[in-house]
Structure 1
Amino acid sequence: MVSVRRSLLPGLALLLGLGLAARLLGSVTPANHLVLAILLGLVVGNTVGVPGIVRAGVGTHKLWLKTGIVLTGASVALDRVAAAGPQVLLLVAGAVTATILLVEGLARVAFRIDDETGSLLAAGSGVCGVSAVVAVAESIEADEAAVAYAATTILLFDALTLVAYPLVGAALALPDRVFGVWAGLTMFSTGPVAAAGFAVSETAGEWAVLVKLTRNAAIGVVAVGYAVLYARRREHGDDSTDRGLLVRVWEPFPKFVVGFVAVVAVANLGLLSEAGITSLGNAADWLFLLAFAGLGMEIRLDDLRETGYRPVLVVLVALLAVSSLGLAVVQAVF
């Protein structure tokens, strides 16, 4: 046991060092610290490589990824989801479904992107940004280069929409509630949604967060749905018919989703204080830093060049379409 711990320590120390460096750079530059963690890991992995002494510790990044996803369940407030009302629930269901289907279609048909990358882009833009990317990546056992491309693309649009949405809202003189619902419905990650909403007004911020948290609650359903879909594809590819559907689904099923649901339940039963929920959120953010630093170290630039600019175009076209239609619907409803 002691020897195992010692073999992990150098790699863990390296991941922590890269994570701290990303945090520091993120505090003095406008770049997102998760993007910086990927980039720092990528630089190290493509220059120094992954020496044997750190390989075991760096390889734990998937564990930190899954654990971070589980902890994010504490931020899903089911009472707020219920309080949103049927109109918002229907809008969220429609936006999530439309975005996922549109991105999947564009990725596969128009831009010829591989299935895994397309699915990760669809989940990230349709549900809750990077959290959905990493959750679905574990569900379908996605290639790490696909995860990096999808996560980086989503974070790029987080930065762009954080600036663009308030400008569009001001140009169109959108009412605060309309802007908040629209932002929560069509922007990607919770942080930028909250920032954009409260930058407009308190009312816009409250509606933006409420709608966004309602969308976030779909992450478990989407992760399970993709797990089932890819399990059936693998089974079909193996030409095997001697196992039942439950067995075929359970083997690749992301077991961490069970933990995610458990944390959601514990948090919504009132068993966690506000301070506890905040602490879990901070812990998840640090775990994601370690995970993304390790992910970056295992990426090879030659692999990334094969995909190029296409993921960005896919998400851009989908965002323009869904946000435009979404705004028209929100204005009609509210």
Structure 2
Amino acid sequence: MKDIFSKAVFLLIGIIALLGVINSPAALLLGFAYTLFLNNPFKEYSHKAIHYFLKISVVGLGFGMFIKETLATGKEGLSVTIYSIFLTLTLGLLLSKFLKLDLKLGHLITSGTAICGGSAIAAISPVIKAKSKIISIALGIVFLLNSIALFVFPAVGNFLHLTQEQFGLWCAIAIHDTSSVVGATLGYGDEALRIATTVKLSRTLWIIPLSFFSMLLFKTKGERIKIPYFIVLFIIAILINSSHMLPETATSFIVLIAKRLLILTLFLVGSTISIKDLKSTGVKPIVLALVLWIFISIFSLVYILN
């Protein structure tokens, strides 16, 4: 009976998220609260759904963008992207050695902070032959910080009176996962959302050179490097929208569905955060992740403001 009740509540919240009744932070909180009081009956499926829903949502958002603006935005965020990735990777490597942390765990946390959270961790893990427990710890810490960012960043943005352009760029650089980047900017404004999505996805391409660097660092050979193919679909969506191949009503509807699916994805993310798993990680990985996150947040904010 309890199992049926928990499944019914889970599906009900999912439907509410899809209908747009709740916003991004509320969806994440509901997911976390649900797992706290009821065990997620679809935990394995939730992880798979997050993987696919996020990519579908991002491609859908492409139908609300235009190629000229996208190229300009990508160029604008290029310099801060290069500096932030290089400095974060360097600091992460030094801190991992200083804290005497497992180097593979430190590298995964650093990679997730430097580029794109879970996507970077998933891409780099097979390259360095990381064990499943290490991958889980890195993902758990990144998801936790993503959850905090969803609430902290909009509050700081409003307090500092950041423009939509500044806020979108800041979120793209300093928030780990694409889902939380989009979630944080959804309520801030369409321009912030457009800039954040574009810069974050162009940043995701850095997974490729990072994979080669990781192979050299850990002296691994013959491992397949994962290329984020959904970015190609995102670019195709922008090109379709820019050429006006579809009527505006159709593209607007696709963007709306993409945003709703993103809110559902954030509920699923919240439902997969485990307090037990986070407690078992120990203090050192969390200290590393927190220091790197604070560094990249402050560095990118100062850079953008100046």
Whole-angstrom CA distance in 1 between matches of 2:74 and 2:155: 26
Unaligned runs of 5+ in 2: 126-133, 176-180
> d(CA) in 1 for partners of 2:15 and 2:284?
29
Partner of 1:62: 47
Given that residues 89 and 214 in structure 1 are in contact (C-alpha distance below 8 angstroms), is that contact kept between their aligned partners in structure 2?
Answer: yes
Deviation sequence 1:112-170 (CA, Å, 0-9, x none)? 461111111222xxxxxxxx32222321237122112112213323322212222223x
Task: Map 1:114-125 to 2 at 5 A.
Answer: 114-123=106-115
CA separation of 1:261/1:28 partners in 2, compared to 1, >3 Å: closer, same or farther?
A: closer
Letter in 2 for 1:261: V
Q: Check 1:219–1:18 CA distance in 2 against 1; reply closer, same or farther (3 A cut).
A: farther
Higher relative contact order (CA closer than 8 Å, sequence separation 6+): 2
> Which residue of 2 is the match for residue 331 of structure 1?
none
Deviation of the 1:38 alpha carbon: 4.4
Residue 154 in structure 1 maps to residue 146 in structure 2: yes
The code of the aligned residue for 1:214 comes to T
Match of 1:261 in 2: 232
TM-score, normalising length: structure 1: 0.64
Alignment match, 2:85: 100
Give the conservation status (yes or no) of the 8 Å contact 2:93–2:107: yes
Secondary structure of the corresponding residue to residue 160 of structure 2: helix
The change in CA–CA distance for 1:85 and 1:306 in structure 2 (over 3 A counts) is closer
Larger Rg: 1
Residues 134 and 147 of structure 1 are in contact (CA less than 8 Å); yes or no, is this contact kept in structure 2? yes
Report the identity percentage. 8
Structure 1 runs not aligned, ≥5 long: 1-8, 124-131, 199-204, 329-334
What residue in structure 1 maps to residue 169 of structure 2?
Answer: 185
Which SS does the other structure have where 2:261 is aligned? helix
Alignment of 1:108-257 (within 5 A): 108-110=93-95, 112=99, 114-123=106-115, 132-141=116-125, 143-169=135-161, 179-187=163-171, 188=175, 189-193=181-185, 195-196=187-188, 198=189, 206=191, 208-231=192-215, 233=217, 236-237=219-220, 240=221, 243=222, 248-250=223-225, 253=226, 257=228
- In structure 2, C-alpha distance between the alignment counterparts of 1:78 and 1:289, rounded to whole Å: 23
Over 3 Å counting, the alpha-carbon distance change for 1:85 and 1:159 in structure 2 is same
CA-to-partner distance for each residue in 1:39-73, whole Å, 9 max, x for gaps? 6436767xxxx9xxx6xx53233321221232122
1:238-274 C-alpha deviation (Å, 9 max, x unpaired):
xx5xx5xxxx334xx26xx324533542464246632
Find the counterpart in structure 2 of residue 37 from structure 1: 31
CA contact (8 A) 1:184 1:212 kept: yes
| Cα distance in 2, alignment partners of residues 29 and 275 from structure 1 | 18
Partner of 2:66: 80
Counterpart AA for 1:312: L
Equivalent of 2:267 in 289, 294, 298:
289
